[in-house]
Structure 1
Amino acid sequence: MQPMIQIRQSPALIGMESGLGEYSIRQPRADLTIATERSELDIQHENPRVTIDQSKAWAAYTGGSVIEMNNRIYSGVREIFLRGIANRVEQGNRVASIHQPGSMIADVYGTDTEAGVLPEFRGPASFDNVDIDVQVSPLQVSYREGKLDIQARVNPPEVSYQRGKLNIYMRQYPSIEIIPPALDAMI
């Protein structure tokens, strides 16, 4: 038999250990800016004006002002004067009728004891002597609509990545073993 050389070879083995990486995604809420402007309601009005004229009522109670009383008396004196003249004419006619029996002079002038009556110096009495006038001005209403302004700012997502671990190592180193033949056995 012939001697043989033995060669034994072991390959290199590389070991790898790896862990998964981690993603972290976070998105902050959107930023809102809200601005409002109030609406306005404006109402303008004037107070009602009430005018009460009770001069006719006072004229009926007291005669009114001196000028009004004098005017009524003055306008009534003419009528009283004309009535007085008519009364005197009638009395004169009765006195002139001496052909009738009786004492006409005594009848006419004996019964004439009535004093001269002044004309009515007061105004006429009526339920409608007080005038009330109410003036109401219309309301002036103005409305201004409010405003709403909304601004949104979207925040971008925040993405972070944590790498996983990677461990590379030699699990087995390569080796070559050469075994010579046994020489002793042949000798």
Structure 2
Amino acid sequence: MQPILQIRQTPAILNFDADPGQYSIQQPKAEVNMNTQPSELEIHQYVPKLTIDSSAARSAFTGGNFLDMNSRIYSGFQDIYLQGIANRVEQGNRAAAIYEPGNTIADIYGQDWQPIPFPEFRTPASMDNVDIRFDVTPPDINFHKAHTDIQVEVHRPEIQYNRGKLDMYMKQYAAVQYIPPEVDIQS
């Protein structure tokens, strides 16, 4: 038998103990600021105006103001004066024709005893003497619509990374073992 040299080889064993790293991600909420200006409705309403003009009624009852009343009296005297002149002319014409029947002196001048009425200083009465006017002003309406102002502040995410561990060590070293053959010394 031939001697055999034995070679035993032990491989190296490298051991890794690793824990993975960890991410920590936080993002604060966004801040929202909202300002709203409310809508406005403005209404300006005016008081209706009632105008009553009763000067024509006052003129029919009492004669009105003194200037208008005196003017009517003055023009009334002019009319009475002109009527008196016309009456005297007519009486003169009848007296000139005294020969006609019915034109006696008593008939012509006998009815002249009645008083002459004072001129009318009032205006005629009527249901339209009072003037009523009602003025309505429409309301002013102004509308201002609402306005919203939105401000958003976004925060960036906060990212942290915690490293894991990595341990490397030799669990077994590589080795080579030579085992020589047994030598027989007795021969």
TM-score above 0.5, yes or no: yes
Structure 1 residue 181: Cα displacement: 7.7
Cα deviation, 1:16-54, whole Å, max 9, x if unaligned, reads: 232333323333333333445567676778766665433
Cα deviation, 1:83-110, whole Å, max 9, x if unaligned, reads: 1222133234334433234572332344
Structure 1 window deviating more from structure 2 (160-169 vs 129-138): it is 129-138
Equivalences for residues 24-103 of structure 1 within 5 A: 24-36=24-36, 51-101=51-101
Query: How many residues end up aligned between the 2 structures?
Result: 186
Contact between 2:97 and 2:103, CA under 8 Å: does it hold in 1?
no
The residue type equivalent to 2:67 in the other structure is I
Cα deviation, 1:140-171, whole Å, max 9, x if unaligned, reads: 88887876544333211111223334344443
- 2:34 and 2:46 mapped to 1: Cα distance? 39
Distance 1:102 1:156, change over 3 A: closer
Identity of aligned residues (%): 50
Distance 1:101 1:40, change over 3 A: closer
- The gaps in structure 1 that reach 5 residues or longer are none
CA RMSD of superposed structures (Å) = 4.3
Structure 1 residue 127: Cα displacement: 5.4
Equivalences for residues 154-165 of structure 1 within 5 A: 154-165=154-165
Structure 1 window deviating more from structure 2 (95-104 vs 54-63): it is 95-104
The residue type equivalent to 2:19 in the other structure is G
- 1:70 and 1:52 mapped to 2: Cα distance? 25
DSSP-derived class of the 2:58 partner: helix
Corresponding residue of 1:118: 118
Structure 1 residue 175: Cα displacement: 6.2
Structure 1 window deviating more from structure 2 (70-79 vs 134-143): it is 134-143
- 2:103 and 2:155 mapped to 1: Cα distance? 133
DSSP-derived class of the 2:71 partner: helix
Cα deviation, 1:96-149, whole Å, max 9, x if unaligned, reads: 433234572332344445321122211244555445667788988888787654
The residue type equivalent to 1:166 in the other structure is L
Structure 1 window deviating more from structure 2 (143-152 vs 103-112): it is 143-152
DSSP-derived class of the 2:155 partner: coil
- The gaps in structure 2 that reach 5 residues or longer are none
- 2:134 and 2:47 mapped to 1: Cα distance? 11
Structure 1 window deviating more from structure 2 (76-85 vs 32-41): it is 32-41
